[in-house]
Structure 1
């Protein structure tokens, strides 16, 4: 979550550098997941959600709303393992029930952007 703030606040080359840093962190995360959880999919606890799945879902399943609200996207092809997992989580009925409606979330993020810039 803290890595999102600079993406929102910065523009141009500074924003691109922050996106590159975030992408590197995501790569390290993917490598660790591949090493430590080789056989488990679509969720790391088998067919049911585990703690790690819930944590990732709460922070990542709304990436489309964030991207739409802020106008910044991440390369899904470069991080296909992560986004495959996120998409599987988005298809889970429990996650679908708890995610806020896309349009309302985009509006809420846009509403908060000026507040983030002023901090």
Structure 2
């Protein structure tokens, strides 16, 4: 999640709000494309088994709560309910649970790497 979202971390105030809105628009396009071109069968994109797209979404968005906590930005889960429903289903998957780093460690790492004053 960090490379694409680095502007969310780096910017503040109105500039940050604009970047968050742009990100929200990208999520909308993603949701619309999935709904239009594919028949998303919950809980996973391929139906009952993890697929490549599920793994990519989980690795990039599975720790969105840690990102939100570290940076102080929230994402509108109601506006993007399909996406967040999918992410939550992925977070409940045993393999994903084992693979994602712990919440507290992600928060600390984001703060250390991107928010701490440079020496």
**TM-score if structure 2 supplies the norm length?**
0.92
Once the two structures are TM-superposed, the CA of residue 39 in structure 1 deviates from its matched residue by 4.6
Give the direction of change, closer, same or farther, for the CA distance of 1:39–1:111 in structure 2 (3 Å limit). Answer: closer
Q: C-alpha root-mean-square deviation of aligned residues, in Å?
A: 1.5
The alignment of Structure 1 onto Structure 2 pairs a total of residues equal to: 117
Does residue 1:76 correspond to 2:84, yes or no? no
Q: Provide the C-alpha distance between the structure 2 equivalents of 1:106 and 1:80, rounded to a whole number of angstroms.
A: 24
Aligned to 1:50: 51
Distance 2:72 2:4 in 1: 16
Q: Any stretches of 5+ residues in structure 1 without a counterpart?
A: none
**Equivalent residue number for residue 35 of structure 2:** 34
Contact (CA 8 Å) 2:43, 2:89: kept in 1 or not?
Answer: yes
Please, what TM-score do these two structures have when normalized by structure 1? 0.92
* Structure 2 residue runs without a partner (length 5+): none
4+ aligned runs moved over 4 Å, structure 1: none
